[in-house]
Amino acid sequence: MGGMIDEILKVIEPNPKPVRLFFFWAGIIATIAYRIIIVLNQYDPLWVKIAWYIGTIGFILYFGHRFNTASKRARLIKDYSLIEAVDRAECIDPQKKLALRYLVKTSLTSKSRWNSAIIFLLSFIALLLGIFMDIYGG
């Protein structure tokens, strides 16, 4: 029994606050970097390129992290049959039970995980293409 508890404790342990803040700020900085390109485009192509690389790398970091987090949640819901556990729970107020069921079920069925995966993948491909084009002048 102790091994099983130790196993789930490893899975549900949140990242340290500095790590969470890193990914939060990576997403914010990436978003700002992409949005400022329209302004930088009026000045110098070098600054556009710098902003694009910052934004693209930030999106890779942020959306890779979001995908991992959403996948971990979905895996926990499946592995521990949490939707069924909520349905069987008798000691929860009916309204709270409905709210909890909604939260658990939508964490499993939400498409945000796949949205994050696609943005991560496309950003990674764009980064590789950008590097290739910068090196080979394409």
Number of domains observed in the structure of the chain? 1
> What does 49-116 look like in DSSP terms, one character per residue?
HHHHHHHHHHHHHHHHHHHHHHHHHHHHHHHTTHHHHHHH--SS-HHHHHHHHHHHHHHHH-SHHHHH
pTM comes to 0.86
How far apart, in whole angstroms, are the C-alpha atoms of residue 81 and residue 98?
16
Q: What is the pLDDT along the chain (138 residues), one digit of tens a residue?
A: 566 676 776 777 888 999 999 999 999 999 999 999 999 999 999 999 999 999 999 999 999 999 999 999 999 999 899 999 999 998 999 999 999 999 999 998 889 999 999 999 999 999 999 999 999 985
- Cβ 130 vs Cβ 53: under 8 Å: yes
**The pLDDT value given to residue 9:** 67
**The pLDDT value given to residue 12:** 75
Residue pointed to by tokens 């994050």: 116
**The pLDDT value given to residue 35:** 97
**The pLDDT value given to residue 14:** 84
**The pLDDT value given to residue 15:** 85
Tokens read off for 113: 């995980």
Residue span of the structural domain in which 72 resides = 2-136
How far apart, in whole angstroms, are the C-alpha atoms of residue 133 and residue 138?
4
How far apart, in whole angstroms, are the C-alpha atoms of residue 48 and residue 86?
50
